[in-house]
A = this chain, B = another copy of it.
Amino acid sequence: MDLRQLRSLVTLVETDFSVSRAAERLNLVQPAVSQHLKQLEAELGCHLVQRQGKRLLGLTKAGDAVLHQARGTLAGVANILAIGRDQAEDRGGVLRLGTTHSQARYVLPPLIRRFRQAFPAVEIQLHQASPEQLVTMLLRDTVDLAICTEAIAQHPELLATPCYRWNRCLIAPLGHPILVQRPISLELLGEQPLVTYVAGFSGHGHFLATFGREGLKPRLTVGAADADVIKTYVREGFGLGIIADLAYDPHADADLGRRDLSHLFPWEVTRLALSRAKYPRAFQGAFMDLFQNEAAAEVRLRQGHEG
CB of A204 within 8 Å of the partner chain: no
In the complex, what residue of chain B is closest to A279 when comparing beta carbons? B69
**CB <8 Å contact, B87 and A46:** yes
Known: A43-B84, A44-B87, A45-B90. A70 touches B76 (CB 8 A): yes
Please report the C-alpha to C-alpha distance between residue A90 and residue B90 in the assembled complex, in whole angstroms.
47
Distance from A12 Cβ to chain B, minimum over Cβ atoms (Å): 15
Of the candidates B44, B61, B76, B87, which one forms a contact with A76 in the assembled complex, judged by CB atoms under 8 Å apart? B76
Chain A stretch 28-84: residues in CB contact (< 8 A) with chain B: 43-46, 61-62, 65-66, 69-70, 72-73, 76-77, 79-81, 83-84
Over the window 72-106 of chain A, the binary record of Cβ atoms lying under 8 Å from chain B Cβ atoms (1 yes, 0 no) is 11001101110111111010000000000000000
CB of A1 within 8 Å of the partner chain: yes
Distance from A191 Cβ to chain B, minimum over Cβ atoms (Å): 55
Please report the C-alpha to C-alpha distance between residue A279 and residue B46 in the assembled complex, in whole angstroms.
17
Please report the C-alpha to C-alpha distance between residue A84 and residue B87 in the assembled complex, in whole angstroms.
36
**In the assembled complex, which residues on chain B have CB atoms less than 8 Å from the CB atom of A88?**
44-46
CB of A2 within 8 Å of the partner chain: yes
**In the assembled complex, which residues on chain B have CB atoms less than 8 Å from the CB atom of A151?**
none
Known: A45-B88, A45-B90. A69 touches B79 (CB 8 A): yes
The winner among A76, A79, A279 for most chain B CB atoms within 10 A is: A76
Please report the C-alpha to C-alpha distance between residue A72 and residue B79 in the assembled complex, in whole angstroms.
10
CB of A3 within 8 Å of the partner chain: yes
Of the candidates B66, B72, B90, which one forms a contact with A72 in the assembled complex, judged by CB atoms under 8 Å apart? B72
Known: A45-B84, A80-B73, A84-B46. A65 touches B279 (CB 8 A): yes
Please report the C-alpha to C-alpha distance between residue A65 and residue B279 in the assembled complex, in whole angstroms.
10
**CB <8 Å contact, B44 and A84:** yes
List the interface of chain A (C-beta within 8 A of B).
1-3, 6, 43-46, 61-62, 65-66, 69-70, 72-73, 76-77, 79-81, 83-88, 90, 279
Mind listing 23 A-B residue pairs with CB under 8 Å? Answer: A1-B3, A1-B81, A3-B3, A43-B81, A43-B84, A44-B80, A44-B87, A45-B85, A45-B87, A45-B90, A46-B87, A46-B88, A61-B87, A62-B87, A66-B84, A69-B77, A69-B80, A69-B279, A70-B80, A72-B76, A73-B77, A73-B80, A76-B76
**Which 10 pairs from chain A and chain B are nearest by CB?**
A44-B84, A73-B76, A45-B88, A62-B87, A46-B87, A69-B79, A72-B76, A69-B80, A65-B83, A46-B88
